[in-house]
Amino acid sequence: MHCIRKIINITQWNLQVFNKVNRAHKRSGILLQNIICRLNHDSEEYLSEEDEKKQNEYVKIASRYLGIAVGGHRTFILQPYIKWGKDKKRNTSPELQMAEAVALINTLPNWCVVGTKYAPLLTLQRKHLLGTGGIENLKKDLRQCPNPTAIFVSTNLLKFVQIRELEKIFGVPVYDRYSIVIHIFREHAKTAEARLQVALAEIPYIRKKIFETCVSRSGAINVTEETKRLLDSKEKKLRNELKKLQQHRRMIRNQRKKHGFPTVAVVGYTNAGKTSLIKALTDDNSLQPRNKLFATLDTTAHQGILPNRLKILYMDTIGFIQDVPETLIEPFIVTLEDAIIADVIVHIYDVSHPDMKAQYEHVQETIKPMLDARPIIDVANKCDLVQSECIPKDAIAVSAKDLTGIDLLRLKIQEVLLATTGLLTIRVRVKAGSSAASWLYKMTTVTNAESDPNDVQYLIMKVIATAVDIQKFKKFLKE
Is the residue at 206 inside a domain?
yes
* 269 is known to lie in a ligand binding site: yes
* 319 is known to lie in a ligand binding site: yes
Its domain, for residue 321, covers 260-419
Q: Are residues 182 and 250 in the same domain?
A: yes
CB 297 within 8 A of CB 332: yes
Q: Are residues 298 and 323 in the same domain?
A: yes
* 24 is known to lie in a ligand binding site: no
* 339 is known to lie in a ligand binding site: no
The residue out of 234, 259, 284 marking a domain boundary is 259
Q: Are residues 236 and 361 in the same domain?
A: no
The CA–CA distances, whole Å, from 468 to 31, 263, 358, 443, 465 equal 19, 18, 43, 11, 8
Q: What pairs with residue 311 in β-bridges?
A: 305
Q: Are residues 252 and 391 in the same domain?
A: no
The residue out of 230, 259, 288 marking a domain boundary is 259
Q: Are residues 97 and 85 in the same domain?
A: yes
Is the residue at 36 inside a domain?
no
* 58 is known to lie in a ligand binding site: no
* 298 is known to lie in a ligand binding site: yes
Is the residue at 43 inside a domain?
no
* 282 is known to lie in a ligand binding site: no
* 352 is known to lie in a ligand binding site: no
Q: Going by C-beta distance under 8 Å and a sequence separation of 6 or more, which residues neighbour residue 273? A: 289, 348, 350, 381, 382, 400
CATH number, residue 399: 3.40.50.300
Q: Are residues 411 and 450 in the same domain?
A: no
* 189 is known to lie in a ligand binding site: no
* 296 is known to lie in a ligand binding site: yes
Q: Are residues 147 and 238 in the same domain?
A: yes
Q: Print pLDDT tens along the chain (479 aa).
A: 333 333 333 333 333 433 433 443 344 454 455 545 443 334 344 456 667 888 888 888 888 888 888 889 999 999 999 998 888 888 899 999 999 999 999 999 999 999 999 999 999 999 999 999 999 999 999 999 999 999 999 999 999 899 999 999 999 999 999 999 999 999 998 888 888 989 999 999 998 888 887 765 555 555 678 888 889 999 999 999 888 888 887 787 777 666 667 899 999 999 999 999 999 999 988 888 888 888 878 788 899 999 988 889 999 988 899 888 888 888 887 777 777 788 999 999 999 999 999 999 999 998 888 777 789 999 999 999 999 889 999 999 999 999 999 999 999 999 999 888 878 888 999 999 999 999 999 888 898 899 999 999 999 999 988 778 888 899 999 88
Phi, psi at 12, each rounded to 5°: -65, -35
CB 165 within 8 A of CB 128: yes
Is the residue at 29 inside a domain?
no
Q: Are residues 245 and 291 in the same domain?
A: no
* 272 is known to lie in a ligand binding site: yes
For 18-46, b/e burial (b = at least 16 CB within 10 A) is: beebbeebebeeebbebbbebeebeeeee
Is the residue at 30 inside a domain?
no
* 273 is known to lie in a ligand binding site: yes
pTM over cut 0.85? no
* 271 is known to lie in a ligand binding site: yes
CATH number, residue 246: 3.40.50.11060
Is the residue at 134 inside a domain?
yes
Return the sign of the alpha-carbon dihedral for residues 271, 363, 334, 232.
negative
The residue out of 211, 239, 259 marking a domain boundary is 259
Strand, helix or coil for residue 465: strand
Is the residue at 248 inside a domain?
yes
* 106 is known to lie in a ligand binding site: no
Q: Are residues 265 and 255 in the same domain?
A: no
Nearest to 251 by CA among 20, 1, 18, 8: 18
What is the number of domains present in the chain?
A: 3
* 18 is known to lie in a ligand binding site: no
Q: Are residues 361 and 245 in the same domain?
A: no
Q: State how far the Cα of 69 lies from the Cα of 156, in Å rounded to an integer.
A: 18
* 382 is known to lie in a ligand binding site: yes
* 112 is known to lie in a ligand binding site: no
CB 300 within 8 A of CB 37: no
Q: Where are the alpha helices (DSSP H) in 214-332?
A: 225-258, 274-282, 326-329
333-340 and 192-213 are packed helices; what angle lies between their axes, rounded to 10 degrees?
A: 130
* 420 is known to lie in a ligand binding site: no
What is residue 5's predicted lDDT score, i.e. its pLDDT?
37
* 384 is known to lie in a ligand binding site: yes
Is the residue at 11 inside a domain?
no
What is residue 402's predicted lDDT score, i.e. its pLDDT?
93
What is residue 281's predicted lDDT score, i.e. its pLDDT?
96
* 399 is known to lie in a ligand binding site: yes
Residue 103 CB neighbours (<10 A): 14
Q: Are residues 329 and 230 in the same domain?
A: no
CATH number, residue 426: 3.30.70
Strand runs labelled E in 93-167: 112-121, 150-153
* 441 is known to lie in a ligand binding site: no
Q: Are residues 73 and 217 in the same domain?
A: yes
Residue 20 Cα to chain centre, angstroms = 30
